Amino acid sequence: DVKVTQSSRYLVKRTGEKVFLECVQDMDHENMFWYRQDPGLGLRLIYFSYDVKMKEKGDIPEGYSVSREKKERFSLILESASTNQTSMYLCASSPFHEQYFGPGTRLTVT
Amino acid sequence: GQSLEQPSEVTAVEGAIVQINCTYQTSGFYGLSWYQQHDGGAPTFLSYNALDGLEETGRFSSFLSRSDSYGYLLLQELQMKDSASYFCAVADNAGNMLTFGGGTRLMVKP
C-alpha cells in the first residue's frame, strides 16, 4: 500500500513564525503536491513538484514556499505565518492520474 | 483558468441510487477524477475518466461527456458508510495537476 505521511496532525503557531510542514511518501512517485482545504472551497493547489528540486506554482502560492531535496520528501514552508493561513494542509503523491493523500495537518495560526 | 461546479449537498436513503453532477470550464482538459473524503479523513481516489462514456467499479460508476464539459458519479445500493464528501477534479495536463470542485456532501439516511 502507498503510504503518505505528514509530520504533524495538529499544529498551533503564532503570527509571524516560520512554519515547516513535511510530507514523506514511500512509493517512489515522481509527483508530489501541497493543497490547502477550507470549507466550501474544496482543495486548492499551493505547489506541485514533478522531480527533485523542481517545482511549479499552483493556484495559491502566495505566502508559501516549498523544498524538495529528496524524491520522497516534499516540504511546505510558511515564511511568516498569518491568521489567514489557518487551514487543513494536505500533501499528496502521484505516479500519474491517481493521487494518494496524507492524513493532513490542521494548522492554526493565532 | 479552471472552474468546476457541483452541488454542495445531497441527501438520499439507504439502498437508493444517487447521482452527483459536475460541470467544468477549463482552459485545457486531460481527464476527470472523483475522490471521496470522510469527515476527518484524507481524500481517496474513486475513479478517472479520460474518454467519453461510463466507467463502472462495483457500486460506483463515473460518466464523462467531453463535448458537454460534464460528468457525474453514480452511487448505487447506498450504504450508511457512503456518507462523505465527494469531489470532482479536472486534470488539465499530463503533469497531473488537478483542480478540485468545492465538494458535494452526501448524507445517507436509514
Structure confidence at residue A42 (pLDDT): 87
pLDDT for B27 equals 80
CB contact at 8 A, B22 and B32: yes
C-alpha–C-alpha distance, residues B22 and A98, integer Å: 18
Mark yes or no for CB contact B42/A104 under 8 Å.
Answer: yes
Of A58, A98, A102, the CB nearest to B48: A98
pLDDT of amino acid B28: 80
What is chain B's mean pLDDT, rounded?
93
Q: Which long-range CB contacts under 8 A does B45-53 form with residues at least 24 apart?
A: B45/A98, B45/A99, B45/A100, B46/B73, B46/B86, B47/B73, B48/A97, B48/A98, B50/A97
Task: Return the pLDDT at B95.
Answer: 53
C-alpha cell at B72: 457525474
Range 73-92 of A in CB contact (< 8 A) with B: 90
pLDDT along chain A (110 residues), means of 10: 89 97 95 93 92 92 96 97 98 91 97
Confidence check: pLDDT of B1 > 70: no
Distances from the Cα of A13 to the Cα of A46, A81, A87, angstroms: 19, 8, 12
**Structure confidence at residue A72 (pLDDT):** 96
Q: Cα angle vertex B85, ends A7, B66, to 5°?
A: 110
In chain A, what residues touch B41 (CB-CB under 8 Å)? 103
CA distance B35 to chain A (A): 9
Supply the pLDDT for residue A87.
97
Contacts of B97 in chain A (CB under 8 A): 33, 45, 48, 56, 58
| Nearest-10 Cα torsion for A2, B78, B101, B65 | 100
pLDDT digits (tens, 9 = 90+) for B92-110: 766 578 899 999 999 999 9
